[in-house]
Amino acid sequence: MKGGNDWWRHAVVYQVYPRSFADSDGDGMGDIPGLISRLDYLADLGVDAIWVSPYYTSPLHDGGYDVADYRSIDTRLGTMDDVDALIAQAHARDIRILMDIVPNHTSSEHPWFRELLASEPGSPAWDRYVVREGTGPGRETPPNNWRSVFHGRGWSHVRTADGQPTGYWYLHLFDTTQPDLNWDNAEVHAEFRAILAFWFDRGIDGFRIDVAHGLVKEAGLPDFDYPATDTETPAMFDEDVAHAPFWDQDGVHAIYREWRAVADTYDPPRIFCGETWVPNAARMARYQRPDELHTSFNFIYLEAGWDAARMRTSIDETIANHAQVGAPPTWVLSNHDVVRHRTRMAPLDVDGTRDLDRGLRRARAATLFTLSLPGSMYIYQGEELGLPEVVDLPDAARQDPAWHRSGGTDGTRDGCRVPIPWSGDVASYGFGTGAASWLPQPADWAGLSVDAERGSTGSTLELYREALRIRRDAPSLGEGPLAWLDSADNVLAIRRSAPAGDVISVINLTDAVLHLPHAWGTEVLVASSEDVAVLTTGDDVALAIGPETAVWLGATS
Ligand code: NOJ
Ligand code: MG
């Protein structure tokens, strides 16, 4: 396959949230045959790989991140034959495929948790999960003060078959239906190594690791001194909360060394990308040491938002820390857990609503600039169409457990999971065979469908296609050195060099026109907006780019 064994060092990876991508059977839920039927679209878009969020057997209390069987496929999403076909068909198009592994917790419907419930305290089945006796009278107080990321307390009673509390509690950093596994247990280690091998043997190219920074808990499970500002819930990525006794413990690294050893026995070697919400680039790069994970998501850059200084700091720190461990950085602006970057970057109007036109303008510029950074890039389905976050979902439609556990105050995750529009004027816009979609789509998405944007000059889809095409062919993009060029405030400019020719990438985050130095030339490879003009002053020919615009320029070294 294209790219050789180092493909992941510079890949553009497209995240598929399978329930929301394409629905082949009209039940309103995307599925694997639907995904297969759209692989040509992904090949045409020009991605190197896809990461598919979980499709294992699951009660879907957390969108499949609650796995009841790691070796079978949820019947609503497809069959094992479908997955084999997906792997073969993706590979036939030179697209690698990453699955999603969820090792921090299982579903409460996993046979292991059922076995725990059916056996006596202290039996071996209990040791696979984090279970402790309660404290106080009747052992009615949880073992410590840890909270769930999805709000409320992080412990629930282990109950008898008839629903009586036993005095024992199980830990769930997420939903009550997601009991945390005990990574001090050898059987847990062995089982996950076997699951990895099971899927590697079927031909997948690697895994994205869910909550990769969370598996190991500090010995003794001490109370956590929650920051005073954090009134309700420990966001996984708050600077303070990142030091919690359940995140980023040194012990997790031993697990990834074990996993790396499994991946390295394959030819070609399989790869990992960790979901690591950690407070800084130095902690992050520890996961990319040569005998651990190949890459991790760089959420620090995602959180920099539309802010030149923060972007630049994050880029510098990321590159410096990754260089120390010999790993390529990754970049990501959207995924299925965060507000889509078109909406996130949109400035607030006076009336408090977001200006989504400017949000799109900014998102396009940010994406284009990010695609010129060294390393690999993750894009989330629908961002290539310029989809906004859906902020007005009816409460009854919402499925995010965080929404329900927070009493309707934390509503950020369903809005980026609305099924994507493919064609036509009315819902489900070609997502399925009829109108049904598990989350309702907005009435005004016809203009954002793949069919509407494909071939349409200036569309976001065409911008992504063009940028990916240029990136694929330009030896200076992807891995390699980055040099900052002098630029005005709120402008970032970099030079990416290769003997075959350099690329200069500039993003103007100001709301004024920016005149570029004439030394940078006028060879525009691609621009995020139409506002790019060649100005001639005397003998001087130079470019001017509009506000909130990014460009790539061809340059000589
Ligand atoms: C991170 C996943 O991306 C998110 O969707 C999920 O809810 C949590 N991990 C828990 O598995
Ligand atoms: Mg379906």
Q: What is the mean pLDDT of the chain?
A: 95
Ligand 1 atom closest to residue 66's alpha carbon, by position in its atom list = 11
Kindly list the distances between the CA atom of residue 495 and the CA atoms of 37, 317, 475, 476, 486, in Å, as whole numbers in the listed order: 39, 18, 13, 9, 11
C-beta contacts of 79-87 below 8 A and 24+ residues apart = 79/32, 82/31, 82/32, 82/33, 82/36, 83/32, 83/55, 83/202, 84/202, 84/203, 85/32, 85/36, 86/32, 86/35, 86/36, 86/52, 87/202, 87/203, 87/204
Q: Residue 233: its pLDDT value, please?
A: 46
**pLDDT (tens digit per residue) in 499-546:** 989 999 999 999 999 999 999 999 999 999 999 999 998 888 999 999
**Reduced DSSP (H G I as helix, E B as strand, rest coil) percent helix, strand, coil of the chain, to 5:** 30, 20, 50
Q: Residue 226: its pLDDT value, please?
A: 86
Q: Residue 412: its pLDDT value, please?
A: 80
Distance 57 CA to ligand 2 centre (A): 14
Residue 234 has pLDDT above 50, yes or no: no
Rounded Cα distance between 299 and 279, Å, is: 9
**pLDDT (tens digit per residue) in 59-90:** 999 999 999 999 999 999 999 999 999 999 99
Q: Which residues contact 93 (CB under 8 A, 6 or more apart)?
A: 39, 40, 42, 43
Of the two residues 478 and 194, the one the predictor is more confident about is: 194
Nearest ligand to the C-alpha atom of residue 18: 2
Q: Which of 17, 172, 337 to mutate to test the pocket of ligand 1 (most atoms within 8 A of CB)?
A: 337
Give the residue-averaged pLDDT of 203-224. 97
Per-residue confidence band for 235, with pLDDT thresholds at 50, 70 and 90: low
Active site residue 84: no
Distance 401 CA to ligand 2 centre (A): 22
Q: Residue 411: its pLDDT value, please?
A: 75
For 360-438, strand residue ranges (E) read 376-380
Residue of 275, 292, 337, 453 marked catalytic: 275
Q: Residue 227: its pLDDT value, please?
A: 80
Give the residue-averaged pLDDT of 365-378. 98
Q: Residue 59: its pLDDT value, please?
A: 98
Q: Which of 15, 99, 171, 210 to mutate to test the pocket of ligand 1 (most atoms within 8 A of CB)?
A: 210
Helices 252-264 and 186-202 pack at an angle, to 10 degrees, of: 30
Rounded Cα distance between 31 and 311, Å, is: 36
Residue 334 has pLDDT above 90, yes or no: yes
Kindly list the distances between the CA atom of residue 96 and the CA atoms of 93, 205, 268, 274, 502, in Å, as whole numbers in the listed order: 9, 6, 12, 17, 28
Nearest ligand to the C-alpha atom of residue 432: 2
Nearest ligand to the C-alpha atom of residue 35: 2
Residue 494 has pLDDT above 60, yes or no: yes
Distance 15 CA to ligand 2 centre (A): 18
Considering all CA atoms of the chain, what is the largest pairwise distance in Å, rounded to the nearest integer?
88
Q: Which residue has the tokens 């500002």?
A: 229
Per-residue confidence band for 231, with pLDDT thresholds at 50, 70 and 90: very low
Amino acid letter, 408: G
Ligand 1 atom closest to residue 335's alpha carbon, by position in its atom list = 3
Residue of 180, 210, 337, 383 marked catalytic: 210
Distance 146 CA to ligand 1 centre (A): 18
Q: Residue 229: its pLDDT value, please?
A: 60
**pLDDT (tens digit per residue) in 1-15:** 888 999 999 999 999
Amino acid letter, 475: P
Distance 29 CA to ligand 2 centre (A): 4
Phi-psi map region of 138: left, alpha, beta (phi>0 left; psi -120 to 50 alpha) = left
Q: Residue 239: its pLDDT value, please?
A: 54
Q: Residue 240: its pLDDT value, please?
A: 58
Task: List, as ranges, residues with CB under 5 A of the ion ligand 2.
Answer: 23, 25, 27, 29, 31
Active site residue 275: yes
**pLDDT (tens digit per residue) in 308-333:** 999 999 999 999 999 999 999 999 99
> For the chain, what is the total number of helices (H) and then of strands (E)?
14, 21
Residue ranges of domains in the chain, CATH in brackets = 4-104+186-467 (3.20.20.80), 111-171 (3.90.400.10), 481-554 (2.60.40.1180)
Ligand 1 atom closest to residue 413's alpha carbon, by position in its atom list = 5
pTM of structure: 0.97
Pocket, ligand 1, Cβ cutoff 6 A: 62, 65, 102, 174, 210-211, 275, 336-337
Cβ–Cβ < 8 Å for 69, 57: yes
Distance 263 CA to ligand 1 centre (A): 23
Ligand 1 atom closest to residue 401's alpha carbon, by position in its atom list = 7
Residue nearest to atom 6 of ligand 1 (CA): 65
Give the residue-averaged pLDDT of 403-410. 88
